[in-house]
Structure 1
Amino acid sequence: MRAVGVDLSVKQLDKARERWPGVDGMELHEADALAYFEDTVAVFDAVYSVFGAAWFTDPGLLLPAVHANLKPGGVFAFSQRPPVEGCYGCQASYIPRGPDEDPAVVKRWDYEPAVWEAILKEQGYADVSASVIDAPPGSRRTGTLFVRGVRGIRGVRGSS
């Protein structure tokens, strides 16, 4: 197996190295996910974004780039927080930094499950599903939005 991790954050990549030391076939890249998919010729069985690129990258750009890098029957799945009711589309997140720094402004894309399904289908994905998984019992109250689609015919590398 070959597992590839892509993240802008060196800290996140370091956490992966600490959590899975010595895993054969693991590659970690400090990069923007969209740029990685646009620049690589690699083709994947599955791509999974965990509260990451699929949340913070324009789906009109990311979804076709991922689709083009999936094998026939390949799966793209992603998870993120469900949208806040009434706050859909591109939203701004303010990420705290150091005490003497202004917060970082980061864009994120929030849609209800049915809208995510329509967006993936428009981008050529098949067998699309999207739903909110309830949070486990405990202090956390917000569930997780989980979206999944299979590579369809449109946008396949090397096809017309």
Structure 2
Amino acid sequence: MTVPPTTPAEYWDRYKPHRGEGDQPAPAVEHFCWTPYPGHGPGAEVLGTPRTALELGPGDGVELVYLARHHGVRGTGVDFSAVQAERAGRWWHEEPGVSFEHAEVCAFLSGRQTSYDAVYSMWGAVWFTDPERLVPLVFERLKPGGIFAFSHAAPGDDAYGPQPMGGRWLEDRGDLVVTRWQYPPQVWADLLRRHGFVNLDAQVVAAPEPAGRATLLIRGERPA
């Protein structure tokens, strides 16, 4: 029986657990997807032609490995979950130019001087981190002309700003709250503009079927 998490980090440690026998195999690296539907919607072209990239909340690390294999990108993934970071590092330790680290993303960004051509996140850490803290840190770690792009579920009409997540382990738990920040496209664009980003694009990518969940995709550039 799985022990319920008591902290947000432990919650993410239990995300997408292996339910099969033996060691969990590495996932296939077939697509670079901003949406939860493989092969649907925009791909790696959103990031331009970076030589270096940082992924915030990479989970299984598939997109970072895709960039390395298909575009020659040297990339780092930083994840709040020790379990996710260790697993991705174990799966992909032989991939040239790919590495994974365990850290809270704001602490990682503020504690390093490395700069990147692209910083991105798919339904990951950007969704779950206060943007007033995160966005200026991302801006500082981007090279001139660098791209910041992220996606998360398109918010419903009743969702605005920081919202507590529901679901397993989170219902009726005053001691454990996992927060996600939800804004419509124009609010995200305005927030990035206020922190110095230009050439902003904010769009909603419809799901491939009517009952599916749409994806919010935001992109901005640090001035060259």
Fold in common (TM above 0.5): yes
In the alignment, does 2:178 pair up with 1:106?
yes
- SS, match of residue 90 in structure 1: strand
* CA distance in structure 1 between the aligned counterparts of 2:98 and 2:80, rounded to whole angstroms: 17
- SS, match of residue 24 in structure 1: coil
Deviation at 1:43, TM superposition (A): 0.1
Deviation at 1:152, TM superposition (A): 2.9
Higher strand share: 1
**More displaced, 47-56 or 66-75?**
47-56
In the alignment, does 2:94 pair up with 1:22?
yes
- Name the Cα RMSD after superposition: 2.2
Q: Is the 8 A contact 1:125 1:152 kept in 2?
A: yes
Structure 1: which 5+ residue stretches go unaligned?
154-160
Q: Is the 8 A contact 1:97 1:103 kept in 2?
A: no
1:128 pairs with 194, 200, 203, which one? 200
Deviation at 1:14, TM superposition (A): 4.2
- SS, match of residue 104 in structure 1: coil
Q: Give the TM-score normalised by the residue count of structure 1.
A: 0.84
Deviation at 1:15, TM superposition (A): 4.7
Cα deviations by residue, 1:89-126 (Å, 9 ceiling, x for unpaired): 1111135249xx88831111100001111111001000
In the alignment, does 2:189 pair up with 1:117?
yes
Deviation at 1:53, TM superposition (A): 1.7
2:222 pairs with 145, 151, 156, which one? 151
In the alignment, does 2:80 pair up with 1:8?
yes
Q: Give the TM-score normalised by the residue count of structure 2.
A: 0.61
Q: Is the 8 A contact 2:93 2:99 kept in 1?
A: no
Q: Is the 8 A contact 1:94 1:103 kept in 2?
A: no
Cα deviations by residue, 1:116-153 (Å, 9 ceiling, x for unpaired): 11111001000011111011238x61111110000137
Look up the match of 2:105.
Answer: 33
Runs of 4+ more than 3 Å apart = 17-21, 101-104
Amino acid at match of 1:142: R
Look up the match of 1:83.
Answer: 155
Look up the match of 2:119.
Answer: 47
* CA distance in structure 2 between the aligned counterparts of 1:105 and 1:145, rounded to whole angstroms: 23
Structure 2: which 5+ residue stretches go unaligned?
1-72
Report percent identity of matched pairs. 39
Higher relative contact order (CA 8 A, sep 6+): 1
Amino acid at match of 1:10: A
Cα deviations by residue, 1:67-110 (Å, 9 ceiling, x for unpaired): 00000110000010011112101111135249xx8883111110
Look up the match of 1:157.
Answer: none
* CA distance in structure 2 between the aligned counterparts of 1:18 and 1:29, rounded to whole angstroms: 12
